[in-house]
Amino acid sequence: MTTDRTEPTPTVDEGDVDTLAEYIGAASSTVALTGAGVSTASGIPSFRGEDGLWDRFDPMDFHRRRFDADPEGFWQDRLSLRTAVYGDHDPEPNAAHRALVDLESMGALDAVLTQNTDGLHDAAGSERVVELHGTNRRVVCDDCGDRADASPVFERVGDGDCPPRCGCGGVYKPDVVLFGESLPEETIATAQRLAQECDLLLAAGTSLAVRPVSLLPKLVVDGGGSFVVLNLEETERDALADLVVRGDVTAVLPSVVDRL
């Protein structure tokens, strides 16, 4: 049975939209930091929070230690998780993704830093995307580092070829940062540099609860830049923000584009 994930039409505070547009219009360098709230309108459920996926799955089943000790069980559970995330649909970019592309095309956005692993920013057409936690669209060989499209590998797992192996004999791993793994040094260094150099960091659809990404706003503020939060609920960095907008990203971001 397909779950109906249709969201109600959000209400937009026009004053907040005007102010956010002013912030973006005045900044010479803006970076967006996106989280799960940007993907939910595409039918992708959140992992944390009420009715999140971690209420249905044990996060430790996807720990690096589990992958090393029991790659077959890891991959079987990973296939179940993938089915729960995507169901029987192929998620597509939504209005928030498209609005960020529009901002980039207008010269009002320099880069997107995303905690999401769904690849929808790339699919929407964003040119500069830093996938902080990797991408579910690829797998990587744990031995030789070869990368491949994930869909055929998951099909192999579903057909009983488990754990899936690379041509070199090594076991494929989802090309994401697992529990127990650190973000790649080059990736976090890029994110930190962009945060330190930008005039404005726009955190959209993220609770800012996970380190080290949650530390990026302080880098911006300490460097004299502005920090804006756009989220339906409170975040752990609201107190640092110059502006907090309570709203749905799929409504607010397109409205900001219209004003610019």
Residue 105 domain flag: yes
pLDDT given for residue 45 in this prediction: 74
List, for residues 127-150, the tens digit of each pLDDT value. 999 999 999 999 999 999 999 999
Q: Are residues 194 and 228 in the same domain?
A: yes
**Taking each helix axis from N to C terminus, what angle separates 71-86 and 150-158, rounded to the nearest 10 degrees?**
110
pLDDT given for residue 11 in this prediction: 55
Residue 223 domain flag: yes
pLDDT given for residue 89 in this prediction: 72
> Which residues does the chain have with pLDDT short of 50?
1-10
Q: Are residues 57 and 115 in the same domain?
A: no
List, for residues 14-39, the tens digit of each pLDDT value. 788 899 999 999 999 999 999 989 99
pLDDT given for residue 6 in this prediction: 41
The count of structural domains within the chain is 2
pTM to 2 decimals? 0.88
Q: Are residues 198 and 254 in the same domain?
A: yes
pLDDT given for residue 14 in this prediction: 78
97 an active-site residue?
A: no
Q: Please report, for the domain that includes residue 189, its CATH number.
A: 3.40.50.1220
Residue 6 domain flag: no
Residue 3 domain flag: no
Q: Are residues 227 and 102 in the same domain?
A: yes
